[in-house]
Amino acid sequence: MENKRIIITGGAGFLGSHLCDHFLRAGAEVVCVDDFSTGRPENLEQWSPQDGLTITRADVSEGIDLPGTVDAVLHFASPASPPAYLRRPLETMRAGSLGTFHALDLARHKGARFVLASTSETYGDPNVHPQPESYWGNVNPVGPRSVYDEAKRFAEALTMAYRRTHGVDTSIVRIFNTFGPRMRDDDGRAIPAFITQALTGKPLTVTGDGTQTRSFCYVDDLVAGVVGMLHSDLPGPVNLGNPQETTILAMAHTIRELTGSASPIVFVDRPVDDPTLRRPDITAARTQLGWAPRTPVEEGLKHTVDWFRAPAATPVP
Ligand code: NAD
Ligand code: UDP
Which among 35, 46, 42 is positioned nearest to 10, based on CA atoms?
35
**CA triplet 204, 39, 18: central angle to 5 degrees?**
90
User: How many angstroms separate the alpha carbon of residue 9 from the centre of ligand 1?
Assistant: 9
Q: Which residues contact 234 (CB under 8 A, 6 or more apart)?
A: 171, 288, 289
Which ligand is in closest contact with the Cα of 251? 2
- Mutational test site, ligand 1, from 7, 8, 14, max ligand atoms within 8 Å of CB: 14
Residue 311 has pLDDT above 80, yes or no: no
Rounded (10°) CA dihedral 192, 196, 197, 200:
180
User: How many angstroms separate the alpha carbon of residue 264 from the centre of ligand 1?
Assistant: 31
In the chain, the percentage of residues whose pLDDT exceeds 70 is 97
**Model pTM above 0.95:** yes
**Pairing mode, strands 245-247 and 213-215:** antiparallel
CA gap 116, 171 in Å, rounded: 6
User: How many angstroms separate the alpha carbon of residue 262 from the centre of ligand 1?
Assistant: 32
Q: Is residue 208 part of a domain?
A: no
Q: How many domains does the chain have?
A: 1
- Mutational test site, ligand 1, from 8, 9, 15, max ligand atoms within 8 Å of CB: 15
Which ligand is in closest contact with the Cα of 79? 1
- Mutational test site, ligand 1, from 31, 60, 78, 186, max ligand atoms within 8 Å of CB: 78
Average pLDDT of the chain, as a whole number: 96
User: How many angstroms separate the alpha carbon of residue 49 from the centre of ligand 2?
Assistant: 37
Q: Is residue 111 part of a domain?
A: yes
Q: Is the CB of 16 under 6 A from ligand 1?
A: yes
Catalytic residue among 85, 123, 135, 148: 148
Q: Is the CB of 15 under 6 A from ligand 1?
A: yes
CA gap 93, 104 in Å, rounded: 16
Q: Is the CB of 80 under 6 A from ligand 1?
A: yes
Which ligand is in closest contact with the Cα of 178? 1
Query: Active-site residue 148, yes or no?
Result: yes
Q: What was the pLDDT predicted at 102?
A: 98
User: How many angstroms separate the alpha carbon of residue 207 from the centre of ligand 1?
Assistant: 23
Q: What was the pLDDT predicted at 106?
A: 98
Which among 255, 271, 277 is positioned nearest to 145, based on CA atoms?
271
Per residue in 45-80, pLDDT (tens digit) is: 999 999 999 999 999 999 998 999 999 999 999 999
Per residue in 204-226, pLDDT (tens digit) is: 999 999 999 999 999 999 999 99
Which ligand 2 atom minimizes the distance to the CA of 191?
Answer: 20
Residue by residue, DSSP assigns 184-208 as: -TTS-SHHHHHHHHHHTTPPEEEET
Q: Are 60 and 77 in contact (CB under 8 A)?
A: yes
Per residue in 91-109, pLDDT (tens digit) is: 999 999 999 999 999 999 9
Tally of CA atoms within 13 A in the half-sphere of 1 that contains its CB: 28
Q: Is residue 201 part of a domain?
A: no
User: How many angstroms separate the alpha carbon of residue 47 from the centre of ligand 1?
Assistant: 20
At 310, the pLDDT band (50, 70, 90 cuts) reads confident
Q: Are 92 and 61 in contact (CB under 8 A)?
A: no
Q: 203 exposed, middle or buried (CB, 10 Å; 0-12, 13-18, 19+)?
A: middle
H helices of the chain, where?
14-25, 82-87, 89-96, 98-110, 146-166, 190-199, 219-231, 248-259, 283-284, 297-309
Per residue in 145-191, pLDDT (tens digit) is: 999 999 999 999 999 999 999 999 999 999 999 999 999 999 999 99
Q: Is residue 308 part of a domain?
A: no
Q: Is residue 262 part of a domain?
A: no
Q: Is residue 316 part of a domain?
A: no
Q: Are 182 and 247 in contact (CB under 8 A)?
A: no
Q: Is residue 13 part of a domain?
A: yes
Q: Is residue 313 part of a domain?
A: no
The parent domain of residue 91 ranges over 5-179+217-243+279-294
Q: Which residues on neighbouring strands pair with residue 118, listed in sequence order?
A: 174
Q: Which amino acid is at 147?
A: V
CATH label of the domain that carries residue 39: 3.40.50.720
Which among 136, 133, 181 is positioned nearest to 284, based on CA atoms?
133
Q: How far is CA 4 from the centre of its chain?
A: 23
Q: Whose CA is nearest to atom 18 of ligand 2?
A: 189
**Pairing mode, strands 265-268 and 204-207:** parallel
Q: How far is the CA of 200 from the CAs of 178, 262, 263, 314, in angstroms?
A: 23, 10, 8, 18
Largest separation between any pair of C-alpha atoms in the chain: 57
